[in-house]
Chain A
Amino acid sequence: GENVEQHPSTLSVQEGDSAVIKCTYSDSASNYFPWYKQELGKGPQLIIDIRSNVGEKKDQRIAVTLNKTAKHFSLHITETQPEDSAVYFCAASRGSSNTGKLIFGQGTTLQVKP
């Protein structure tokens, strides 16, 4: 079945530096790739997503890139701030052909040191 691998499992950066989290997926039919941020004791919150007809998407300090040929996608956070500290999850889905069922990566704990 579909598998999503996420790396690294932990990431520590200095405030102001950039952070990059990478995910690879196995199902070539996947066409929707969201990223979620989970703060301690809370549910995941969607921060950005990308669909397979797009190679890159930006939203202020956050960007996601997608390489469908290599079956990997990445989250880029620039000018990191302490409030960016959280667990980040990537996910992949076949979209409407699979009723939106998401397959999640294992998560990356990001620590931004002030």
Chain B
Amino acid sequence: NAGVTQTPKFRILKIGQSMTLQCAQDMNHNYMYWYRQDPGMGLKLIYYSVGAGITDKGEVPNGYNVSRSTTEDFPLRLELAAPSQTSVYFCASSADRAGYEQYFGPGTRLTVT
């Protein structure tokens, strides 16, 4: 099992550009999550999904969109990138509705200039 994979590892965007962060898991987990981690801070939940076709907002959803067309993939879309979106983005998945044992990907480091 590859677990949770994320691409790209690094990206630099100009203000106003758009991009999609990819996340995939091969553990057949229904529950998937997107977090952002700002320097010296804990992780904050952006969006989450309880299964294909079902998504919902987390703590900090503004400026982002998600979709979940398959169990395996959970892409995160940034529209009109802003410097405030400079962060490290982590995707996670869990087999359990309660979110027990969330497995994290290696992260995408995004810089918006």
Contact = CB atoms under 8 A, between A and B. Distances in A.
Interface of A: 1, 4, 6, 9, 32, 34, 36, 41-46, 49, 89, 91, 93, 95-96, 99-107
B41 A99 contact: no
Q: In the complex, which of the residues A9, A93, A102, A104 has the most CB atoms of chain B within 10 Å of its own CB atom?
A: A102
15 contacts: A44-B43, A44-B104, A45-B104, A46-B102, A49-B100, A89-B42, A89-B43, A93-B98, A95-B99, A100-B33, A100-B96, A101-B48, A102-B45, A104-B42, A105-B42
B48 A43 contact: no
A91 B102 CA distance: 11
Interface residues of B, number: 30
Interface string B15-44: 000000000000000010101000011111
The 3 closest A-B pairs by CB, nearest first: A100-B99, A104-B42, A43-B104
Contact of A102 (B96, B99, B105): B99
